[in-house]
Amino acid sequence: MDHALIYIILASIFGLLMTWGVGANDLANVMSTTMGSKAISVRSAIIIAILFEFLGAFLGGTGVTETMSDGIINMAAIANDPQILVHGMLAVLVAGMVWINLASYFGLPVSITNAIVGSVIGFGAIVLGMDAVH
C-alpha cells in the first residue's frame, strides 16, 4: 500500500475520532439551554448541530486552514521535507483527539482550538526551533 494512502486513512480515522469528541464536548455548550427549556427536542438539537457544524466547516474552513497551515509556524523551514509536516500534523491530530475525548469523558469543558493551536506551536518549536513560531 502506498504511504500517502496510509496517511490519508490515518488522518481520516483520527479526524473522525476527534470530531466525535468535539461534538460530545461542544454540543452541550451550544444546545443545553434550548434542550433544557424543552424549546427543542434532543433529535432536533442533533440535526441542527450537524447542519451548522458542517456549514461552518465548509464555508469558514478556508480561513482557518490558511492560518493553521502558515500563520502559526514558518512552513518555509520544512518546504524541502514535507514528510516532517505530515508526521507533525498527524501528531497534532492525535494530540487533539486524545485531549478532547479525555476531556469529554471527564466532563471538562475545553477548547479544541486552543489544544490544536498549542500542539502546532509545540510541533514547530520542537522540530523547527522557537524562531519558526510566529
Summarised one tens digit per residue, pLDDT across range 7-21 is 999 999 998 898 888
Please state the φ and ψ torsions of residue 110, each to the nearest 5 degrees. -125, 165
Q: What distance separates the 2 farthest-apart alpha carbons in the chain?
A: 56
Listed in sequence order, the DSSP H helices in 37-111 are: 42-66, 82-105
Task: Give the domain ranges of the chain.
Answer: 3-132
Q: How far is the C-alpha of 59 from the C-alpha of 44, rounded, in Å? A: 22
pLDDT of 1: 65
Give the separation between CA 91 and CA 123, rounded to whole angstroms: 8
Q: What is the DSSP letter of 67?
A: I
Q: pTM surpassing 0.85?
A: no
Note the pLDDT tens digit of each residue in 100-113.
889 888 888 788 88
Strand-pairing partners, residue 118, are none
Residue 95, C-alpha cell as written in the block: 494530540
Q: Are 25 and 112 in contact (CB under 8 A)?
A: yes
